[in-house]
Amino acid sequence: MEASSTSTSTITQSLTRAIVEHRLPPGTKLAEQKLADHFGVSRTLVRQALFQLAQNRLVTLEPARGAFVATPSVAEARQVFAVRRMLESEMVRALARDMTPARIKALQAHVASERAAMKTADAGHRPELLGDLHVRMAQLMGNEVLAQMLDDLISRCALITLMYQSASAAEHSHEEHVGIVAALVERDEERAVALMQAHLEHVEASLTYDRKRPANHLSMALSLVTP
C-alpha cells in the first residue's frame, strides 16, 4: 500500500511539474499506456495519478476519450476572480474586526512559509501555498462554509495561475500577502479590504493568456520528466 501511494505521488508530482513548466500544453492527451511505460508502473497507478490531477483541475477526464491537460477558460477565470473579490473583501473586513494573538501568529507563520517557498525552485508548490493563505483566513474565522467555497474557487484558479503566472508575479503576490497580514495585525479593516481587492486584481492582471505555448507531444515532454 505504501509503495503504491509513493508511486502515485511521484507520477502526480512529475506531471504537475511538466504542466507548470509548459512542456505539456493545454489539450495534450495523456495516454495511460505511454505514462505507465515511462514510469515503469501499472496503468492502475497511472489512473490514480490522473484522477488526483483531475481533482486538482489540472487534467480533464473525458469518457471514452481519456485524460487531457485541462484548458483554462478566460471567461471562467474572470468570473472566478470576480466572485473571489466579493467574498474575500468582506472576509478580511470581518477578520480585521476580530483579530486575536493566535490568529496573528498563524497568519505570520503562513507568510513566513511563503517567503521560504519563494527561495526554492519548486514552482508547483508556490501557487498552492499562496492560495492556502486565503483559505486559512476563513478557517481562522471558524467559517468552514466560506473556507470550503474558497478552496473550490482557488482550485479552479490553480491551473490558470500555474499555466499563466510567472515566478516574478508569484513573488509579487507574496509581498502583497505580507501587506494584507500587516493591515490585519493593525486591525485596519479599510486598508485590509483595499489591499485584498488590489491583490486579486493584480493576480488577474498578471495572467498572460495569449502566451505562445510549445507544441510538444507527450513523448517529447516525458523525455524531460524524471520519474
Percent of the chain whose pLDDT exceeds 90:
44
User: Are 83 and 171 found together in one domain?
Assistant: yes
| 50 and 7 fall within a common domain | yes
CA 19 from chain centre, in angstroms, equals: 12
SS3 annotation, 105-159: HHHHHHHHHHHHHHCCCCCCHHHHHHHHHHHHHHHHCCCHHHHHHHHHHHHHHHH
Q: Is residue 227 part of a domain?
A: no
- When pLDDT is cut at 50, 70 and 90, the band that residue 2 belongs to is very low
Distance from C-alpha of 149 to C-alpha of 54, rounded to nearest angstrom: 18
Residues 94, 200, single domain; the answer is: yes
Flag whether 18 is in a domain: yes
Q: What local confidence, expressed as pLDDT, does residue 36 receive?
A: 92
Model confidence at 22: pLDDT above 90: no
Write the Ramachandran bin of 143: left for phi over 0, alpha for psi from -120 to 50, otherwise beta: beta
pLDDT in tens, 83-140: 999 999 999 999 999 999 999 999 999 999 888 877 775 555 555 666 789 999 999 9
Residue 216 lies inside a defined structural domain of this protein: yes
Residues 101 and 65 in one domain: no
Cβ pair 178, 111 in contact under 8 A: yes
Number of domains in the chain: 2
Q: Is residue 55 included in any domain, yes or no? A: yes
Same domain? 105 vs 10 = no
79 & 143 share domain:
yes
Residue 83 lies in a domain: yes
Reference 206, options 172, 176, 177; nearest CA is: 172
Q: Among residues 18, 12, 1, 24, which one has the least CA distance to residue 48? A: 12
Q: Report if residue 167 sits inside a domain.
A: yes
Say whether pLDDT at 15 is over 50: yes
Q: Do 135 and 36 sit in the same domain of this protein? A: no
Give 116 or 1, the one with higher predicted confidence.
116
pLDDT digits (tens, 9 = 90+) for 54-80: 987 789 999 999 999 888 777 878 888
User: Quick one: 112 and 67 in the same domain?
Assistant: no
**Unique residue bearing C-alpha cell 487531457:** 68
Residue 211 has pLDDT above 80, yes or no: no
Task: Name 139's Cβ contacts closer than 8 Å, sequence gap at least 6.
Answer: 147
Q: Which residues pair with 62 in a beta bridge?
A: 66
CATH for 161: 1.20.120.530
Per the domain annotation, does 148 fall within a domain?
yes
CATH classification of the domain holding 51: 1.10.10.10
Cell 488590489, residue?
198
Q: Which residues are bridge partners to 60 per DSSP?
A: 68
- Cα distances (angstroms) measured from residue 142 to each of 23, 94, 122, 185: 40, 12, 31, 18
Mean pLDDT of the chain: 82
Same domain, 192 and 107: yes
Q: Look up residue 69 and give its DSSP letter.
A: E
The beta strands (E) that lie in the chain are given as: 29-30, 59-62, 66-69
Question: In the predicted model, what is the mean pLDDT of residues 18-22?
Answer: 72
Calculate the CA dihedral of residues 98, 131, 182, 200 and round it to 10 degrees: -100
**What is the span of the domain harbouring residue 148?**
74-205
- Same-domain pairing of 137 and 155: yes
Residue type, 187: R
Task: Please report the pLDDT score of residue 126 as a whole number.
Answer: 58
Q: What is the pLDDT of residues 153-202, one digit of tens each?
A: 887 776 677 666 665 666 788 899 999 999 999 999 999 999 999 999 98
- The helix or strand, by DSSP H or E, that contains position 29, with its residue range, turns out to be strand 29-30
Same domain, 112 and 132: yes
pLDDT of residue 227: 53
Q: Are residues 54 and 117 in the same domain?
A: no
